[in-house]
Amino acid sequence: MQTPSQRSRWKYLAFILLLLSGGRLAAQTATQSVNNIPQQAVTTAATKANTKSNTVTNNALNKMDSASDKAFKGFTGLFKKKPKPKAPPADSAKVHPPDSTVIAKP
């Protein structure tokens, strides 16, 4: 049976300490990750709500803009000079009725 030398004992001891400290570090990292999940969920929800709010606001403003444009055009249309309709060519029969005088026969 071989007994480990003094140097190899230190290597084993260092290896075991490294494993133990790595386990603690991994546990701390996992704990931090778990603790960050609620904050990430809140941030994500706030971002989604903000985006939705912006979309709704933009759509409402676009509709209001188009409605106000229509109203403005309608209002200014009241004051525009309207072209006179072109009169159809005059019918001479309507202007001068046909001659209805009776001519005596000889």
pLDDT in tens, 35-57: 777 777 888 888 999 999 999 99
Residue 77 above 70 pLDDT? yes
3-state DSSP of the chain: CCCCCHHHHHHHHHHHHHHHHHHHHHHHHHHHHHHHHHHHHHHHHHHHHHHHHHHHHHHHHHHHHHHHHHHHHHHHHCCCCCCCCCCCCCCHHHHCCCCCCCCCCC
Residue 105 above 70 pLDDT? yes
pTM score of the predicted model: 0.39
